[in-house]
Amino acid sequence: MKCIGVIGAMEQEISRLKEKLENVKITRKASMDFYEGNLDGKRVVVVKSGICKVNAGICTQILVDLFEAEAVINTGIAGSLNKDINIGDIVVSTDVLQHDVDARIFGYSRGQIPQMDAFSFQADEGLRRLAVQACCEVNPDIQIFEGRIVSGDQFISDKKVKDDIVGEFGGFAVEMEGAAIGQAACLNEIPFLVIRAISDKADGSAQMDYTEFESAAIEHSVKLTYKMLQKM
Ligand code: ADE
């Protein structure tokens, strides 16, 4: 039987979703615990991938191979790359790419994975629409943006690094897993969506903001993801 896969990098990002599952079965693979259960009549597998792109890519592949995931949603928090996107707001991915890929020495653009056609990986439009609808219902007091989300194996907390990423890629939010999930989903030809609540501004204030706002931001992305799963 097919399922919808839900990935969070950290336990806090998925613990409330795991609690909503009924008839749960846990399967351990690659040091990750996959929580498989029913949610609103759908088969859903919720899993903590761990942080950074390799963990996220492996996790997505296991969802496809072992659980026959027909769609993957990544929920969590991110740093804002745009002055209009505030802490607590939501960014839903139009597309994702890896800002730390650099093979320019061989003539590729920055961010381009050598010998792959796609520059960025396109999120599913149906899932995007559903996420926006769900967000308006459950988080009416915050803003929701649709835009590019960029990922890299770095926590961005320096304004110069942030400005460089924005100048090069024009992203709306930065995090550490989404593009790996998008890449794995595209290689397997299944739809994906990255949903991130903003926890910090990805500049000098990142460390302080992050601790203070992490849980409020997570609350927004969890509520949205739960509502979205109900609508699927
Ligand atoms: N996740 C949340 N905030 C982030 C940041 N500033 N950089 C990378 N990943 C993040």
- What is the position in ligand 1's atom list of the atom closest to the CA of 77? 2
Active site residue 163: no
178 Cβ neighbours under 8 A, 6+ residues apart: 56, 74, 78, 93, 96, 149, 151, 194, 196
pLDDT for residue 219 is more than 90 = no
200 within ligand 1 shell (Cβ under 6 A): yes
- Which of the four pLDDT bands, split at 50, 70 and 90, describes residue 216? confident
Q: Mean pLDDT, to the nearest integer, of 82-96?
A: 95
pLDDT for residue 88 is more than 80 = yes
> Choosing from 124, 200, 203, 214, which is the catalytic residue?
200
Residue 209 has what pLDDT? 66
Residue 206 has what pLDDT? 62
Active site residue 13: yes
Q: How far is the CA of 178 from the centre of ligand 1 (A)?
A: 11
Q: How far is the CA of 77 from the centre of ligand 1 (A)?
A: 7
Residue 13 has what pLDDT? 87
Q: How far is the CA of 28 from the centre of ligand 1 (A)?
A: 27
- Which of the four pLDDT bands, split at 50, 70 and 90, describes residue 221? confident
Task: Compute the mean pLDDT over every residue in the chain, rounded to the nearest whole number.
Answer: 94
176 within ligand 1 shell (Cβ under 6 A): yes
- What is the position in ligand 1's atom list of the atom closest to the CA of 152? 8
Q: Mean pLDDT, to the nearest integer, of 164-191?
A: 98
**Residue closest by Cα to atom 9 of ligand 1:** 175
pLDDT for residue 208 is more than 70 = no
Q: What is the DSSP string of 112-180?
A: PPTT-S-SSEEPPHHHHHHHHHHHHHH-TTS-EEEEEEEE-SS----HHHHHHHHHHH--SEEESSHHH
Q: Mean pLDDT, to the nearest integer, of 41-53?
A: 97
Q: What are the pLDDT digits (tens) for 3-33? A: 999 999 999 889 989 999 999 999 999 999 9
Residue 55 has what pLDDT? 98
Residue 212 has what pLDDT? 73
Q: Mean pLDDT, to the nearest integer, of 42-69?
A: 98
